[in-house]
Amino acid sequence: MSAALLTIEDVAVELPTPRGNLRAVDHVDLSLEAGRTLGIVGESGCGKTMLSRAVLQLLPKKARLTGRVMFDGQDLVRLDAERLRRLRGRDLAVVFQDPMTSLNPVLTIGTQLMETIQEHLELDVSAARKRSIELLAAVGIPAPEQRLAQYPHQCSGGMRQRIAIAIALSCEPKLLIADEPTTALDVTIQAQILDLLAREQRRRHMAMIIITHDLGVVAGRADEVAVMYAGRVVERAPTQALFKRMHMPYTEALLAAIPKLDAAPHTPLPAISGRPPDPTRPLKGCSFAPRCRYAASRCHEAKPDLKSAERPDHLYACFHPIQMAEGIGA
């Protein structure tokens, strides 16, 4: 096993709100090796975006972050602004959820691509231009040269997300974080974008964190899956192992929700009745207890720890794990 490229150590994010302190991320530990893919899965509001923003150091100003984010041997939380800036876009790249809002409406696509390249790589204008055209071609944009002079509103949603991916890939990052990169897109385009990400990842040997509310997206695409609920990681395992045998009732519920692929973003999962707990009012027991069909009295009194049982790499936080008779192929 090589040393991890990214380790998230005991990261917690708190946001002050009028209703009180909101714990968006609740002491999460994760790690990722170079070239590998981690899937983070959970329903809306469980803290996936806040966790990714904590890694990128792009949290809202008022947010309080504790813990360590070790990336490539440095703690991003304590890194000074200038060194962080040189790292972002170059070694650490991101694709946001909504391509309609993540590109600047008043700058051309060429400007938005070339500025990143020229910021981090020593290339003159014509070389940066050439590289931009290659990148657009690589992400499947037809007539890339003409696109450079266009503005985002002249492209479809799928095109914009491809452009956002081209920007993210432009400096050969070591880690790409894709935060629900397909949720805002048509179902027909979702698979194309996911395949594009997988292909470019293999080609460039970069690590990737793919965030989604859809277990189906990470099946077969991620090496490892972390399931999040109410700010915590509640189950974590290599993808194969997870799909063979899932232990958390919440993971099971997520699996049942997969056919609803085209549900609108930021909506609660229909397959699981009820909503996640109010993050400003943490529960004493397991945060899934009010919705869990296996819940027993102990579940309401104490929080289950995240720990492993039969396999050291399969962790889960549940007092009454499900014992599945047969696994589901990944």
Partner 1 sequence: MLNFVVRRLLAMLPVLLAVSLLTFLIASLLPGDLALVILGDQATPENVAALRRDMGLDQPLWWRYLSWLGHVLQGDLGRSFRTGQTVLQAVAERIPVSLQLMLMAEFIGLLIGVPVAIACAARAGGAFDRVMTGSAFAMLSMPSFLVAILLIYLFAVELHWLPATGYVPFTEAPLANLRFFVLPALTLALAEWPGIMRVLRSDMIATLQEDYIALAKAKGLKPARILFVHALKPSSLTLVTVTGINIGRLLGGTLIVESIFALPGIGRLLVGAIYTRDLVILQGVVLLVACGFVIVNFIVDMLYAVLDPRIRHGHA
Number of residues assigned to the chain: 330
Query: Can residue 151 be called a binding residue for partner 1 (CB under 8 A)?
Result: yes
Contact (Cβ atoms closer than 8 angstroms) between residue 188 and residue 200: no
Q: What string marks each residue from 248 to 267 as x (binds ligand SF4 by CB under 6 A) or -? A: xxx-----------------
CA 32 → CA 68, 217, 248, distances in Å?
A: 14, 18, 22
Query: Can residue 233 be called a binding residue for ligand SF4 (CB under 6 A)?
Result: no
Residues 6+ apart with CB under 8 A from 184: 97, 98, 99, 100, 157, 161, 265
Among Mg ion, ligand SF4, partner 1, none, residue 49 binds (CB under 5-8 Å by kind):
Mg ion
**49 or 112, CB closer to Mg ion?**
49
Helix then strand then coil, % of the chain, to nearest 5? 35, 25, 45
Query: Can residue 155 be called a binding residue for partner 1 (CB under 8 A)?
Result: no
**151 or 319, CB closer to partner 1?**
151
Alpha helices in the chain (DSSP H): 48-56, 81-87, 99-102, 109-120, 125-138, 144-147, 157-169, 187-204, 215-218, 239-244, 249-256, 297-301
CB 113 to partner 1: min, Å:
10
State which of residues 117, 138, 217, 299 lies at the interface with ligand SF4 (CB under 6 A): 299
Please report, as ranges, the residues that interact with ligand ATP according to CB under 6 A. Answer: 15, 17, 22, 24, 42, 44-50, 60, 180, 213, 266, 279
Query: Can residue 229 be called a binding residue for ligand SF4 (CB under 6 A)?
Result: no
CA 92 → CA 5, 85, 168, 183, 220, distances in Å?
A: 11, 10, 9, 22, 24
CB 254 to ligand ATP: min, Å:
12
Which amino acid is residue 184, in one-letter code? A
**264 or 325, CB closer to partner 1?**
264
Residues 6+ apart with CB under 8 A from 173: 89, 90, 91, 92, 93, 206
Contact (Cβ atoms closer than 8 angstroms) between residue 280 and residue 22: yes
CB 87 to ligand ATP: min, Å:
22
The C-alpha atoms of residue 40 and residue 292 are separated, in whole angstroms, by 21
CB 282 to partner 1: min, Å:
27
State which of residues 17, 66, 74, 104 lies at the interface with partner 1 (CB under 8 A): 104
**131 or 232, CB closer to partner 1?**
131
DSSP three-state, residue 37: strand
**210 or 253, CB closer to partner 1?**
210
**149 or 191, CB closer to partner 1?**
149
Question: From the DSSP assignment, how many helices (H) and strands (E) are in the chain?
Answer: 12, 12
Sheet holding 37-41, edge to edge: 92-95, 175-179, 207-212, 37-41, 224-229, 232-238, 315-316, 307-308
Instruction: Give the binding range for Mg ion (CB under 5 A) out of 42-50, 129-137, 153-161, 287-295.
Output: 42-50
Q: What string marks each residue from 158 to 197 as x (binds ligand SF4 by CB under 6 A) or -? A: ----------------------------------------
Query: Can residue 42 be called a binding residue for ligand SF4 (CB under 6 A)?
Result: no
DSSP three-state, residue 176: strand
State which of residues 29, 256, 319, 330 lies at the interface with ligand SF4 (CB under 6 A): 319
Which amino acid is residue 111, in one-letter code? T
Contact positions vs partner 1 (CB under 8 A): 56, 58, 85-90, 92-94, 96, 98, 101-107, 115-116, 119-120, 151, 153-154, 164, 167
Interacting residues toward ligand SF4 by CB under 6 A: 248-250, 286, 288-289, 292, 294-295, 299, 304, 318-320
